[in-house]
Chain A
Amino acid sequence: MRALLPILAASVLALVAGLGLAWWWSGPQPQALPAFALPDLDGDIRQASDWDGDILVLNFWATWCKPCREEIPMLIAAQADYAGQGVQIIGLAVDEPEPVQRFANQFGVNYPLLVDALGVMRLQDAIGTATGLPFTVIVDRSGSIRAQVLGEMDRDRLDALLRPLLADAA
């Protein structure tokens, strides 16, 4: 039995190594952004296809979420800086229109805000298993999700995630 132990251990290790290598070899495949149709603050229904060809920064947030509010001035500045490079930030609020409108006016939000608590939560569920806000999803020009960030993000992190995508043809 003692003599069999190394063989057994080798078999288990080989299996783990094989599975790991197989996964590594194939690599994770980019996930397509699920379709959505959500109202903006004017009540107009907006879809991802409205921004075809742009790099999208989908920021899931809510006015009741303090770290979300703290992140938004950074997103406003980033939208201004990246506007000429085909980058579109979109705020998706798990909230009611009234506080979102009040917040938008107070902070001068310069990007579209889509508001539908249930619809936005469903979209977040469809994208991944991350639960909580803020949640930011970076989508490349071809509509593939390239990054998901759960929790408050700083400008350096956003820039680092956008940089490789900006090199893609617009």
Chain B
Amino acid sequence: MQADEDMTTHTNSRAPRWRRIAAAALLAGLAPWASAGLFDRASDTFLPADQAFVPQAVATEDAIVVSWQIADGYYLYRHALSFAPAPGSALRLGNAEIPPGAVHRDEFFGEVETYRQRLTVTVPVDHWPQAGPVRIVVSYQGCADAGLCYPPQRQTVTTIGGAATPSGHR
């Protein structure tokens, strides 16, 4: 019991010192970022493109449904969307069914449409080359409200799910 009391007293009396050490270590650890400010490095307040716009593709019986999760404060342009089979694939795609977006007047390009939060596009499949997942190349481009645009992105996405059999055997 006495030992317990001693330990309690001991621990409590040292707590402020530990907090001071921790604070000093934290400050020392933060120093590189503070000194990096001397050279005004590029801001890291923007998300990388692959976190701002996260594409996913799901195969249904006769289409591939491509969807993007779009981070808050970021948006995608309709005119930059395109879909193609992965190189070397015999997958054949129809015309993508792209929903209407929010219409904006761009002083240089005229009318443009944008999407926020979530975008879902259905890409009909005319021919499944194989059973199981297939790979599709999705192209897109977007920007952040805070004043940044990302270069056009081209991602090869493997579908979740796929045809039960290739088209020729259905």
Question: CB within 8 A of B106: which of A27, A66, A149?
Answer: A66
Question: CB within 8 A of B18: which of A9, A23, A27, A68?
Answer: A9
**For the complex, is B103 an interface residue (Cβ under 8 Å from A)?**
no
Chain B interface (Cβ < 8 Å from any Cβ of A):
14, 18, 21-22, 24-25, 27-32, 34-36, 38-46, 48-49, 106-109, 141, 143-144, 146-151
- A interface residue count range (under 10 / 10 to 19 / 20 to 34 / 35 or more): 35 or more
Whether the pair B108, A24 counts as a contact (CB closer than 8 A) is no
Whether the pair B40, A148 counts as a contact (CB closer than 8 A) is yes
On chain A, the residues within 8 Å of B31 by CB distance are 20-21, 23-24
Whether the pair B147, A27 counts as a contact (CB closer than 8 A) is no
Whether the pair B148, A6 counts as a contact (CB closer than 8 A) is no
Question: CB within 8 A of B148: which of A129, A134, A145, A148?
Answer: A134
On chain A, the residues within 8 Å of B151 by CB distance are 94, 121, 131-133
Question: CB within 8 A of A147: which of B40, B143, B150?
Answer: B40
The digit string for A111-153, where 1 denotes a CB below 8 A from any CB of B, is 0000000000100000011111111001000000111111110
Whether the pair A151, B18 counts as a contact (CB closer than 8 A) is no
Q: Across the two chains, which residue of chain B brings its CB closest to A154?
A: B147
Q: Across the two chains, which residue of chain B brings its CB closest to A161?
A: B40
On chain B, the residues within 8 Å of A135 by CB distance are 42
On chain B, the residues within 8 Å of A18 by CB distance are 28
On chain A, the residues within 8 Å of B150 by CB distance are 131-133
On chain B, the residues within 8 Å of A23 by CB distance are 31-32, 35
Q: Across the two chains, which residue of chain A brings its CB closest to B7?
A: A2
Q: How far is the CA of A6 from the CA of B15 in the complex (A)?
A: 11
Q: A70-B147, A147-B40, A161-B40 are in contact. List 6 more A-B contacts (CB 8 A).
A: A28-B32, A66-B143, A99-B108, A132-B151, A147-B39, A148-B42
Q: How far is the CA of A18 from the CA of B49 in the complex (A)?
A: 35
The A2-46 residues at the B interface (CB cut-off 8 A) are: 6, 9-10, 13-14, 16-21, 23-24, 27-28, 30
Question: CB within 8 A of A13: which of B21, B34, B39, B45?
Answer: B21
Whether the pair B148, A20 counts as a contact (CB closer than 8 A) is no
Q: How far is the CA of A64 from the CA of B40 in the complex (A)?
A: 26
Q: Can you list 28 A-B pairs, Cβ within 8 angstroms, ordered by A?
A: A6-B18, A9-B18, A13-B24, A17-B28, A17-B29, A20-B27, A20-B32, A21-B31, A23-B31, A24-B31, A24-B34, A24-B35, A28-B36, A28-B38, A64-B149, A68-B149, A94-B151, A106-B108, A131-B49, A131-B151, A132-B148, A134-B147, A145-B39, A147-B41, A149-B43, A150-B46, A151-B46, A152-B148
